[in-house]
Structure 1
Amino acid sequence: MKKYLLVLCVFLLVLVASLAAIFKDEPVKIVFVGDILLARGVGEKIETNGYEYPYDNIKRILKDSDITIGNLECAISSRGTPALKKESLLFRAAPENAAALKEAGFDVLNLANNHTMDFGREGLMDTVDFINSAGIKTFGAGKNRETAGKPLYIKVKGTVVGFLGFSAFPSEGYFFLEDQPDVAQVDIESLGEEVKTAKENCDVLIVSFHWGKEFDFYPVESQKSAAHIALDNGADIIIGHHPHVLQGVEIYNGKPIFYSLGNFVFDRQIPRGTDETVMLKVEIEKSKIGKIELVPLKIIDCQPTEAGFDDGVKILERLKLFSEGMGSDIDIRDSRGYISLPLFDN
């Protein structure tokens, strides 16, 4: 009897190892989107049309992935003390939005930005609690400096994907205190070591930065410097946001930098380009970034919507223009963009 049990155990171990190897070879699909605002004008649309309204035209793609991630540009709470800034720039959305984000297909949300603390530390912790309770993981903010900068790890199909988030801007209207809730802020002196340490515990590391100049289509030197430091120390892809418009794409030592994905769910599309964005569909193969597809979108009445053929080509052509001299080659086919990475051993 013991002999049969031993044989069975060995068989099960071999089976588990074989399945793990098979899953490891399956591509991990990740969808990235830009800024998500659920307050102000978007909040008014939600009150009229329901919490699912912002995602109605796009949730099919959001759900067609292993991980879908965006930058949440507001607090999710019904309380908190407003920060000391213009009322029109204070963003807070109802707690019911958390479940709607999950239903739309979101798995992960970055909170390292300049609006997460719009309603104070109470509003920040409510945001984390409501989002996590809805089944969505968060990174880039926490109950103190240590937890705010802590990497998030998710294991999918045998591949461990890591996330780090940093804001280049301090929380507006607050003093930074190490033992109090806040967002993770970029420290260029420690950035390399933070990235290197995070990479030790995952196969692929995604670093998200909230940075840059609003409405500018080109990254500034501080963005390039931070991105290059992160990639030199183990990051595999950089995802940026905050400018509210698309910024150029760079390939640095065989690794992609998306300096800004622009808006995703947003209300005010006044300056040129704020109603245009791209959704990234990235595949991870054998612990490396493989295929990258760019899906051009237009924001219409606060809803991201797949751009038609003509608009889609125009959006991608402009992104290609913004990317000139950055080593990226965006291949436009059938109103979709494709980026092939060099065969670097990165």
Structure 2
Amino acid sequence: MERAGFDLMSVATNHIKNCGISNCGDRAFFDTLDNLTRVGIAPVGAGENLHDAMQPVVREVNGVRFGFVSLGQLEPRVFADEDEPGIAVLNEENLISAIEAARQVSDVVIVIPHWGPEDVPQPNWSQRDLARLAVDAGADLVVGNHTHVVQAIQEIDGVKVFYGLGNFIFDQNWALDHQQGVILKVTYQGTEMIDYELIPTHVDFDGLVHIAGEVEALEILNRIDEASRSLP
């Protein structure tokens, strides 16, 4: 991943403590954080306790400080608390606190929530309420994940919300839409987001990710467009 260009990774997911079919406690959790850090990829959204998990990761690009926070819901077994390692818990209070903390050290705040129901292109009302809350709290961009299929895009008070980018690398080859996703390429001029591009992808049975072909790419983008236009 480091050679591919990743330098930051959201780890606030329901899979962060997975360890095959065995129970290995928190070993897999800490191994993941340690291995990412070892190769120069900063994990965001998890830590030794809730305070650590809530901390933003800041990357400076051309003099602009981009602050990233990530929070997740869905499986209490991976939630951090005051003295328990795990992920930053996505709720209203934590979301506001994380964004406010990031705002103090960043010029642009990007929120990466792990949220929503699987397998549906439309965000539920919980996602939409949290997206509104994030924007009101000062988020400049919201990029969601977890749903395994691409979801709608919405603009809230000038802030883009990408509810779900689909699967990038995931062994869910029983359904075509679970082998599809998009890479989000965002262009900033100073602190202003001036453009974005969705690059459709396809992950093969061998786990390799490819840029989707023309026909498949159009189908993926059309599904996102339809879901976006259908938002109530």
Within the candidate set 204, 210, 223, 1:318 is matched to: 223
Corresponding residue of 1:255 = 159
Deviations 1:90-142 (A, max 9, x none): xxxxxxxxxxx111221111010101022432221121111101111111001
Q: 1:175 to 1:233 in 2, by over 3 A?
A: closer
Higher relative contact order (CA 8 A, sep 6+): 1
Once superposed, which parts of structure 1, at least 4 consecutive aligned residues long, lie more than 3 Å away?
174-177
Corresponding residue of 2:111 = 207
Contact persistence 1:171–1:183 (CA under 8 A): no
More moved, 255-264 vs 115-124: 115-124
Contact persistence 2:13–2:72 (CA under 8 A): yes
Shift of 1:311: 1.5
TM-score relative to the length of structure 1: 0.62
* 1:296 is the counterpart of 2:200: yes
* 1:236 is the counterpart of 2:136: no
Letter in structure 1 aligned against 2:97: E
More moved, 114-123 vs 310-319: 114-123
Corresponding residue of 2:58 = 153
Shift of 1:271: 3.4
**1: CA distance, partners of 2:209 / 2:176:** 16
Q: Which runs of 5+ in 1 are unaligned?
A: 1-100, 328-346
Within the candidate set 186, 192, 214, 2:90 is matched to: 186
Within the candidate set 190, 201, 204, 1:286 is matched to: 190
**2: CA distance, partners of 1:248 / 1:322:** 5
**2: CA distance, partners of 1:188 / 1:206:** 16
Within the candidate set 9, 34, 50, 1:109 is matched to: 9
Q: Which of the two has higher C-alpha Rg? A: 1
Corresponding residue of 1:78 = none
**1: CA distance, partners of 2:150 / 2:128:** 15
Shift of 1:190: 3.8
2:128 is paired with a residue whose SS is helix
Shift of 1:305: 1.0
Shift of 1:310: 1.6
TM-score relative to the length of structure 2: 0.91
**1: CA distance, partners of 2:157 / 2:183:** 23
* 1:220 is the counterpart of 2:120: no
Q: 1:108 to 1:243 in 2, by over 3 A?
A: same
CA RMSD of aligned residues (A): 1.7
Shift of 1:176: 5.1
Letter in structure 1 aligned against 2:13: N
Contact persistence 1:170–1:185 (CA under 8 A): no
Corresponding residue of 2:22 = none
Q: Which runs of 5+ in 2 are unaligned?
A: 20-24
Contact persistence 2:79–2:85 (CA under 8 A): no
Letter in structure 2 aligned against 1:112: A
Shift of 1:155: 1.1
* 1:123 is the counterpart of 2:28: yes
**1: CA distance, partners of 2:119 / 2:97:** 31
Aligned length: 226
Corresponding residue of 1:139 = 44
**1: CA distance, partners of 2:122 / 2:61:** 34
**1: CA distance, partners of 2:13 / 2:49:** 15
